[in-house]
Amino acid sequence: MDDPLAVPTGDVADAALAVLHGTVDRQIAEHSLRSFYFARLTARQEGLLTDAAYDEGLLFAATVMHDLGLGTLAEGNARFEVEGADLAAKLLAEHGIPDDDISRVWEAIALHSSLGLADRMGLLTYLTHKGVFTDGGRFTELSPEVQKPVRLAYPRSPDDHTLQAAIVNHARKSPKAAPPFTIAAELLRQAGG
């Protein structure tokens, strides 16, 4: 991996980027890209790039589309993670991706925020979760030096609360969007309902 900022190419990758940039705020799109880079760097650091289950195209799809449930296509009829997974699955199906791969991406997106579950559900789900939460600062296994090219290309302001605000806005759409004991429910509670 010579260029740490390289991304997969092709119709599916292009479509994933287009739906990402066309439906979510810039800060959320950049979080999604950082999540991909950190997931791939985690795979490299843990020696997983050669694992038979590692698929960079699916990892890109899962990480780049993991927050589509916070964008303009989401109606608020389910948790943002599930709505995002459904939207990603639809895009992948439209591009002829096999059902088994669609299911893997759906699971990775639906469980990306599920601490204690995502890291036990297969490589794609594990790496998606690690990438997302490395960007959020929960995981620190990747050194600042390893993260540096990504952080320079896509800086994240410590004062930016766009992601949290989007989760709260989605949660306010319906009770189904913020079931008890979810990240959305907790952020909604902290925001005063």
- Mean pLDDT check: name the lowest of 10-19, 63-72, 103-112, 164-173: 164-173
Q: What is the pTM assigned to this prediction?
A: 0.95
pLDDT of 106 above 70: yes
HSE at residue 29, side-chain half, CA atoms within 13 A, is: 14
Residue whose C-alpha is closest to residue 134's, from 120, 49, 75, 118: 118
Cβ–Cβ < 8 Å for 40, 1: yes
Domain 11-156 has CATH 1.10.3210: yes
User: Measured at the alpha carbon of residue 187, what is the angle toward residues 88 and 37, in degrees to the nearest 5?
Assistant: 45
Cβ–Cβ < 8 Å for 34, 78: no
Average pLDDT over residues 159-169: 92
Cβ–Cβ < 8 Å for 54, 9: no
Average pLDDT over residues 7-36: 97
